Structure 1
Amino acid sequence: MPTILLIEDEPSLGLIVKDSLESRGFTVQYAADGEAGLQLFQLRCPDIVVADVMMPKLDGFSMAEQIRRENATVPILFLTARSQPADVVRGFELGGNDYLKKPFSMDELIVRIKALLSRQPAAAPVSVGPLAIGRYQFDHPKQKLRFGSHEEALTNREAELLKRLYDQRNQVLERTAVLRELWGDDSFFNGRSLDVFITRLRRCLKEDPQVQIVNIRGIGYKLIL
């Protein structure tokens, strides 16, 4: 069974969740704060991270940001009482894959964990070099976008979204399809998050006026080169 890294600073809740997951066959590594969680991640390489947001020493968002610098693909599921749209969007921007509001049922948590694990992509073929996007050079594996001597570091999700736009260049990338592939579903909050990412990619590509990401109303987006 997959290994779950669980980070939760409420000991009673953490132990209940740990015991429940282990009773259903999962292997669980448990940490009570963000710093300890990050150290366990670096030592044990779990298959999925389930983390509270409000934690001592290192909060869940900051921990996820550091994890994404080292690993672009491991699923991260946030557990939190914070459910404002801005918090949800920030969690996705930092590389989170799902968001479960407290209090939650164990059945729902397990369903979401299994869904995230089932969506893990097959190993991508080795890239032969940077991709040309107008006057930009896009290094997808390294998540870098270069324009002349300037280099922009992209987040994991920014790089994945730009790669899909590039693969469908001059054609429509369907909004619903990309939401389901990169965010897990096409809910309202995920749609808002996708809009934020499109805006950020437009800013990253603004130096070349020949490169545009246009909205195709009601359908999706098109990268025009």
Structure 2
Amino acid sequence: QMDGFEMVRLIRLTSPAVPVLFLTARTALDDVVKGFELGANDYIRKPFQILELVVRIKALLKRNRQGVAEDSNLTLCDCSLDFASQHLAVGDDTFELSHTEAVIIDELFRHPNEVVEARTLMYRIWQNDDYNNLNRLHGFIYKLRKYLSKSTGLELLNVRGIGYKLAVNPASLNNAPPAD
């Protein structure tokens, strides 16, 4: 009931790291551009040779494995997230996160000083943006805000009617350890 473009848009909302390869008969340059703009990692036009498909899939999987290893630990100001173990370190304190909390803070760490829409977070967590999940999301944000209140450089803000913003105090960047 949906085309590939819509499918990629939904994949990127729920699982930004999943590698996506278009395999399509749509060969117009506009289609290729649209596919990449929506988040495709590669685009193969029909007809194709099976060896080319295999080589491109192997390359995507190799890049994806490397990216996961590099991106599972994120540091911002005096805070660091170990996504794999679901631990958030804020200054000298360490908090054990639920999977949902880790997904939320991961998304916010990857977009500092940017508004992250509530619907984006809900898609990543529950694969839908059902209004009934909004209160659940607010509960997780409340808990994360308490953890981050110990930070000297970060503040988790509500952007009314849209989502949330992880605000970085520019002065704290001068004293921050180097990012991973």
TM-score tier after normalising by the smaller chain length: 0.5 to 0.7
* Contact 1:127/1:141, CA 8 A, preserved across alignment: no
Q: Deviations over 1:83-134 (max 9, x none)?
A: xxxxxxxxxxxxxxxxxxxxxxxxxxxxxxxxxxxx6773661136732232
* Contact 1:130/1:137, CA 8 A, preserved across alignment: yes
Counterparts of 1:138 and 1:206, CA distance in 2 = 15
CA shift for structure 1 position 156:
0.6
Counterparts of 1:146 and 1:220, CA distance in 2 = 23
Residue 181 of structure 1: aligned partner:
124
**1:194 and 2:137 aligned:** yes
* Contact 1:170/1:223, CA 8 A, preserved across alignment: yes
> Relative to structure 1, is the Cα distance of residues 133 and 184 closer, same or farther in structure 2, using a 3 angstrom cutoff?
same
Aligned residue type for 1:188: Y
Counterparts of 1:157 and 1:202, CA distance in 2 = 14
Query: Match for 1:217 among 160, 169, 177?
Result: 160
Aligned residue type for 1:132: T
* Contact 2:78/2:152, CA 8 A, preserved across alignment: no
* Contact 1:140/1:159, CA 8 A, preserved across alignment: yes
CA shift for structure 1 position 190:
0.6
TM-score when normalising by structure 2? 0.53
Query: Match for 1:126 among 61, 64, 69?
Result: 69
Residue 149 of structure 2: aligned partner:
206
CA shift for structure 1 position 179:
1.1
Counterparts of 1:217 and 1:192, CA distance in 2 = 14
**Greater relative contact order (CA < 8 Å, ≥ 6 in sequence):** 2
Per the alignment, in what secondary structure is the counterpart of residue 126 of structure 1? helix
Q: How many residues align?
A: 107
* Contact 1:158/1:201, CA 8 A, preserved across alignment: yes
Per the alignment, in what secondary structure is the counterpart of residue 215 of structure 1? strand
CA RMSD, aligned part only? 2.2
Per the alignment, in what secondary structure is the counterpart of residue 125 of structure 1? helix
Counterparts of 2:72 and 2:140, CA distance in 1 = 24
CA shift for structure 1 position 168:
1.2
Structure 1: 5+ residue runs without aligned partners? 1-118
CA shift for structure 1 position 199:
0.6
Structure 2: 5+ residue runs without aligned partners? 1-13, 19-63, 169-180
Per the alignment, in what secondary structure is the counterpart of residue 218 of structure 1? coil
Counterparts of 1:189 and 1:171, CA distance in 2 = 25
Counterparts of 1:148 and 1:221, CA distance in 2 = 22
Counterparts of 1:175 and 1:147, CA distance in 2 = 23
> Relative to structure 1, is the Cα distance of residues 164 and 128 closer, same or farther in structure 2, using a 3 angstrom cutoff?
closer
Aligned residue type for 1:206: S
Residue 138 of structure 1: aligned partner:
81
TM-score when normalising by structure 1? 0.43
> Relative to structure 1, is the Cα distance of residues 128 and 220 closer, same or farther in structure 2, using a 3 angstrom cutoff?
closer
Percent identity for Structure 1 against Structure 2: 27
